[in-house]
């Protein structure tokens, strides 16, 4: 369940929320040096808090101290807990929700344009009809989330987990989905025009009447229509799939207008 204080603070507005979130992060950055760094870390801790490590440090030392600092921050930061909260219809444009726990939250129709949700847990959340244009959702956990009818124009979903997500009629035009996990996702009638789907996992994704015009589908496998009306690893063209046609590394753009795959199930991708 959600932290009631966190929910109440978010409902005060984006400005108040972002100020608290930054103070929370700053409190972590202002903490004492981790004990495991040794005496030399004590002298440079302040510099690292400012994001400016001393120039005379070796790359190995910089990497070691940054890694320890990241672990310390991860373990001490008071990550926002908004799980299962009712945030439907809220105006959250530009909200800083990095790494927030929003699992099972109701965000139906919420305005999340330009919000930062990178690394957030949105598994099972209701985001149907939400506005997420230009939102930052890289590496977010969106497993089984409801994103039907949501607008995600030019949103960054690189590396996001969208396993079994509901994206029916979602507008993902120009979105960055490179490396995203879209296995078994429901993308029926979704608009993926101009989207970057390079290296995305699409095994078992449903793409009936999806628009893939100008989408980047590089590193895709080949496809052919089966008698059951499915595609098994294939190129989707307007209204049909090409027989034994391949998406080689040279074919970085799929020009489909619109792309229609009858209950498309892209296997081996």
- Ranges of residues in the chain with a pLDDT under 70 are 25-78, 220-269
Per-residue confidence (pLDDT) for residue 4, from 0 to 100: 93
Per-residue confidence (pLDDT) for residue 132, from 0 to 100: 98
Domain range summary for the chain, segments of one domain joined by +: 4-76
Per-residue confidence (pLDDT) for residue 44, from 0 to 100: 58
How far apart are the C-alpha atoms of 111 and 139, rounded to whole Å? 20
Per-residue confidence (pLDDT) for residue 14, from 0 to 100: 96
How far apart are the C-alpha atoms of 191 and 75, rounded to whole Å? 39
Helix, strand, coil percentages for the chain (3-state, nearest 5)? 20, 15, 65
Per-residue confidence (pLDDT) for residue 248, from 0 to 100: 29
Q: Which two tokens stand for residue 74?
A: 């991860």
Per-residue confidence (pLDDT) for residue 233, from 0 to 100: 34
Tens of pLDDT along 246-268? 232 223 333 333 333 333 333 33
Per-residue confidence (pLDDT) for residue 84, from 0 to 100: 97
């Amino acid at each position: 369940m959600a932290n009631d204080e966190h929910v109440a603070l978010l409902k005060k507005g984006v400005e108040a929320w972002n100020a608290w979130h930054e103070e929370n992060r700053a409190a972590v950055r202002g903490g004492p040096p981790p004990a495991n760094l040794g005496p030399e870390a004590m002298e440079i801790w302040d510099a690292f808090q400012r994001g400016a490590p001393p120039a005379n440090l070796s790359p190995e030392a910089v990497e070691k101290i940054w890694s320890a600092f990241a672990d310390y921050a991860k373990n001490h930061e008071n990550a926002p807990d908004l799980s299962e909260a009712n945030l439907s219809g809220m105006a959250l444009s530009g909200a800083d929700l990095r790494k927030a726990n929003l699992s099972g939250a109701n965000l139906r129709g919420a305005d999340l344009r330009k919000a930062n949700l990178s690394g957030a847990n949105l598994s099972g959340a209701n985001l149907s009809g939400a506005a997420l244009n230009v939102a930052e959702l890289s590496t977010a956990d969106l497993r089984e989330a409801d994103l039907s009818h949501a607008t995600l124009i030019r949103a960054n979903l690189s590396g996001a987990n969208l396993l079994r997500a509901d994206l029916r009629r979602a507008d993902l035009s120009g979105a960055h989905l490179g490396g995203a996990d879209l296995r078994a996702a429901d993308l029926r009638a979704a608009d993926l025009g101009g989207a970057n789907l390079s290296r995305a996992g699409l095994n078992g994704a449903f793409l009936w009447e999806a628009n893939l015009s100008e989408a980047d589908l590089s590193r895709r496998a080949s496809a052919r229509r089966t008698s059951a009306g499915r595609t098994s690893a294939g190129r989707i063209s307007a209204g049909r799939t090409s027989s034994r046609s391949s998406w080689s590394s040279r074919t970085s753009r799929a020009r489909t207008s619109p792309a229609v795959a009858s209950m498309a199930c892209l296997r081996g991708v």
